[in-house]
Amino acid sequence: MHELILGGARSGKSRLAERLAGESGLAVTYIATGQALDSEMAARIRQHRARRPAHWSLLEEPLELARVLRENAAAERCLLVDCLTLWLSNLLMLDDPARLDAEREALLACLGELPGRVILVSNETGLGVVPLGELSRRYVDAAGWLHQALAAQCQRVLFSVAGLPMVLKGEAL
């Protein structure tokens, strides 16, 4: 099963994804896309590490997500990707639209072929005001388009608000 979990900042989406991965009964590989580029992000990464089970595998990949998914997906494994919007930010900061397009298309192309369980976590950024800056608008647009394309492919889509999951598509929790 492939799942997409969306939510705002501090909505409980990562905890929900971690719970579902832990309940899957499969070996879990956590794929982290964030980079500790400042002290605040380093603290967030430490917090995420501290609450993950020690027996989960960890892969850190800020850019080549499709490659890592293809290399690690297996019928007996759950891949948890946290998070897609950090991955998009990393690609946007490269200021190479061709690379962003290539990586996004690679992700969308490989998802349907991946065995096992895949849980994708992403920030829903389209619920607020339209940002003033060009880069911020590109980010919100890219995230929205990616979420729509992934939601079409995933068997279940969840939206987390205040730690409460809402099923948008697929079977109930």
Catalytic residues: 48
Task: Please say whether the beta carbons of 122 and 4 come within 8 A.
Answer: yes
Query: One-letter amino acid identity for 84?
Result: L
What are the angstrom distances between the C-alpha of 87 and each of 64, 84, 123, 139?
9, 5, 11, 11
Residue in 35, 131, 120, 24 with CA at minimum distance from that of residue 69: 120
Strand, helix or coil for residue 116: coil
| Residue 68 CA neighbour count, 13 Å, CB half | 20
Cα–Cα distance for residue pair 155/11, rounded to 1 Å: 22
Query: One-letter amino acid identity for 81?
Result: V
